[in-house]
């Protein structure tokens, strides 16, 4: 089995389509890196053969050559930085796009098992860590690596003896780098984990702020945040301690190398085996060896952080799809809407929550699922919506297993109205149009009128163009629900799921929503999950679910006339309704 890449090498695939451009950039960078080396060779020649030999023509040629080399290095260096930065930004753009696209294709099981803040950290701080390396570090890596190679080669061409002396510091440099590599990888990986924990706690606190304040738990959450923040500080401090040892050590090795070259060069000059200009050029060229080496060592910490971030991102990119179409899955045309659940068994963990469920809903039929919480009603609806696939058995539409059709083609003909509808930031009209982005303004107005959203919009000066904040803040629960119903109506689904759509709605608003349901349900295959009797009464058949099994079926009148779980549940609900009215 092929091992998946989790480190920075995984980014190589994002160079596809731009590798020719990258080759051109590398060629420009190589010439740019060689230019300063050539410049020091010219300096050495100018000293030995121009100044000391009092050859003014040779000196003038060397000066002109040095200026020309400097101009070429500046032009090519600028072009290299701009082109590499552009490539890096495109790579980050594509990575973030792939990450978000993969996230949106994962099943609800994945999101139920991960904290929202952990996922947000992958898309924000981890991608930002990669962005820093690709936008700035990539240029530093390429330019300085080529400069380092060119400088070492130029030093040996200038005088191989001085080159050997300078390389004496190479073995300890390798040892220090290996030590830093081992320690820093674990340290920076822990930093990414700590940052994710802080982000997750922040996201949870913001989402639950009303509950936190209602129960006076602000200080408890502050203490939790302070603990996570302190752990993050300690982790970052340790990583910086490693860097504080590594970077100065590399600088010290550079100083040692310069001292060694000066000492050896001075001895060779005394013996007549070396020219002064050559020694000056060698010292200057040695700076071209250790300056990029220092910058690369500083970049190394950034690369380690990015590598740890890529490892975290890879855990998302490698997350398996729970919902996959079988090979050869086909697109659905316009469906009739007949639904069949054949021997469906489903479990979130080890223990099944749905036990061998058999269910038939004819075209245009309407059933209601009722029962105590935890009975499996919402899970059944999610199986029909194919948010999950059954462990055993099959869910079929018009006789075809949902796994044999392409999910997108099925979801286009499915509408869902949830207990707590989510509204996106934008206008009321935008939220209605979310169900079908190509809907015309006339269709939006018609849907709003049919459902009663025009009454909601009338409260605002802008009408349907009134801007609502994320989540629908400023609108009542009933108003948000009416907008979500209009959204479903515009989508014109063949199959409709109403999941506790009238829960926590006041009685006057419930009347409006019940009327809206009459419009929405007409001619559609529908599944209603509700506790309110006024909602389930309209169903052709009511199914009572207990512990993942159907224990009673019939019409409202039939079930009320029979002693059983539905009548007991109805009696309880009627008593609760009476108490609310009182």
- Domains by residue range for the chain, with CATH: 18-317 (1.20.1560.10), 365-380+418-581 (3.40.50.300)
Q: DSSP for 491-539, please give it.
A: H--SEEEEESTTTT--HHHHHHHHHHHHHHHTTSEEEEE-S-HHHHTT-
Helix (H, G, I), strand (E, B) or coil at 362: coil
Q: DSSP for 221-282, please give it.
A: HHHHHHHHHHHHHHHHHHHHHHHHHHHHHHHHHHHHHHHHHHHHHHHHHHTTSS-HHHHHHH
**Cα 562 → chain centroid:** 53
Element (H, E) at 174: helix 170-207
Please report where in the chains the tokens 């063949």 appear, as a residue: 494
Buried (b) or exposed (e) across 130-139, using 16+ Cβ within 10 A?
bbbbbbbbbb
Please report where in the chains the tokens 């994002």 appear, as a residue: 14
* Integer Cα distance of 484 and 67 in angstroms: 70
Indicate the DSSP class of residue 376. S
For residue 7, count other CB atoms closer than 10 A to its CB.
Answer: 14
What's the pLDDT at 158?
81
Helix 19-45 to helix 138-158 angle, to the nearest 10 degrees? 40
What's the pLDDT at 578?
39
Contact call for residues 376 and 341 (beta carbons, < 8 A): no
**What tokens were used for 371?**
């029962």
* Integer Cα distance of 138 and 132 in angstroms: 9
What's the pLDDT at 392?
92
Closest-CA residue to 454 (of 413, 427, 483): 483
- Terminus-to-terminus CA distance in the chain, angstroms? 67
Beta-sheet strand order (sheet of 525-529) = 414-417, 495-499, 525-529, 366-370, 541-546, 549-554
Strand partners of residue 347: 352
What's the pLDDT at 506?
62
Within a 13 Å sphere around the CA of 338, how many CA atoms are in the beta-carbon half?
8
What's the pLDDT at 41?
78
What's the pLDDT at 542?
92
Answer left, alpha or beta for residue 558, where phi above 0 means left and psi between -120 and 50 means alpha: alpha
CA angle 262, 260, 244 (to 5 degrees): 120
What's the pLDDT at 471?
73
Element (H, E) at 94: helix 56-105
Answer left, alpha or beta for residue 191, where phi above 0 means left and psi between -120 and 50 means alpha: alpha
Strand partners of residue 330: 405
**Cα 183 → chain centroid:** 27
| pTM of the predicted protein model | 0.65
* Integer Cα distance of 548 and 281 in angstroms: 83
What's the pLDDT at 5?
55
**What tokens were used for 317?**
């990119």
**What tokens were used for 120?**
């947000």
The ranges of the chain with pLDDT < 50 are 1-3, 575-582
Strand partners of residue 427: 467
């Amino acid at each position: 089995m092929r091992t998946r890449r989790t480190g920075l090498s995984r980014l190589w695939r994002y160079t596809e389509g731009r590798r020719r451009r990258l080759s051109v950039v590398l060629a420009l960078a190589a010439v740019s890196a060689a230019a300063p080396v050539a410049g020091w060779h010219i300096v050495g020649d100018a000293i030995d053969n121009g100044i000391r030999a009092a050859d003014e023509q040779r000196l003038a040629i060397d000066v002109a050559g040095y200026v020309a080399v400097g101009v070429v290095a500046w032009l090519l260096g600028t072009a290299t930085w701009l082109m590499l930065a552009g490539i890096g930004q495109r790579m980050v753009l594509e990575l973030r796009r792939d990450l978000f696209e993969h996230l949106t294709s994962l099943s609800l099981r994945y999101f139920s098992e991960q904290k929202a803040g952990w996922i947000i950290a992958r898309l924000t701080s981890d991608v930002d860590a990669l962005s820093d390396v690709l936008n700035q570090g990539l240029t530093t890596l390429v330019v300085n690596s080529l400069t380092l190679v060119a400088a070492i080669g130029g030093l040996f061409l200038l005088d191989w003896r001085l080159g050997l002396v300078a390389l004496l510091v190479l073995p300890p440099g390798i040892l220090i780098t290996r030590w830093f590599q081992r320690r820093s990888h674990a340290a920076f990986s822990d930093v990414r984990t700590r940052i994710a924990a802080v982000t997750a706690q922040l996201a949870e606190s913001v989402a639950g702020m009303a509950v936190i304040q209602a129960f006076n738990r602000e200080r408890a959450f502050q203490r939790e945040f302070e603990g996570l923040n302190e752990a993050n500080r300690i982790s970052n401090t340790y990583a910086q301690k490693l860097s504080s040892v590594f970077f100065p050590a590399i600088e010290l090795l550079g100083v040692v190398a310069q001292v060694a070259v000066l000492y050896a060069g001075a001895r060779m000059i005394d013996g007549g085996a070396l020219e002064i200009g050559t020694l000056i050029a060698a010292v200057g060229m040695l700076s071209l060896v250790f300056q990029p080496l220092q910058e690369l060592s500083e970049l190394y910490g950034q690369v380690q952080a990015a590598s740890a971030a890529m490892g975290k991102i890879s855990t998302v990119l490698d997350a398996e799809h729970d919902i996959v179409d079988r090979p050869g899955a086909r697109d659905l045309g316009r469906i009739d809407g007949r639904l069949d659940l054949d021997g469906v068994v489903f479990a979130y963990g080890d223990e099944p929550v749905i036990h061998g469920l058999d269910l038939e809903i004819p075209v245009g039929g309407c059933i209601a699922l009722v029962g105590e919480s935890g009975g499996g009603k919402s899970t059944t609806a999610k199986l029909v919506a194919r948010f999950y696939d059954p462990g055993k058995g099959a869910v079929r539409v018009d006789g075809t297993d949902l796994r044999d059709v392409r999910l997108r083609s099925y979801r286009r003909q499915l509408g869902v109205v949830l207990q707590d509808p989510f509204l996106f930031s934008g206008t009321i009209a935008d939220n209605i149009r979310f169900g079908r982005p190509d809907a015309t303004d006339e269709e939006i107005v018609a849907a709003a009128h049919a459902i009663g959203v025009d009454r909601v919009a009338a409260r605002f000066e802008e009408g349907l163009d009134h801007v609502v904040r994320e989540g629908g803040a400023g609108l009542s629960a009933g108003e948000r629900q009416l907008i979500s119903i209009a959204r479903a109506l515009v989508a014109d689904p063949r199959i409709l799921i109403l999941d506790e759509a009238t829960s926590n709605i006041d009685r006057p608003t419930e009347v409006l929503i019940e009327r809206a349901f009459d419009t929405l349900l007409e001619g559609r295959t529908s599944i209603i999950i509700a506790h309110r009797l006024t909602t389930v009464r309209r169903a052709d058949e009511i199914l009572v679910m207990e512990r993942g099994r159907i224990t009673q079926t019939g019409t409202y009148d039939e079930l009320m006339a029979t002693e059983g779980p539905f009548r007991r549940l109805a009696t309880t609900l009627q008593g609760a309704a009476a108490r609310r009215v009182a």
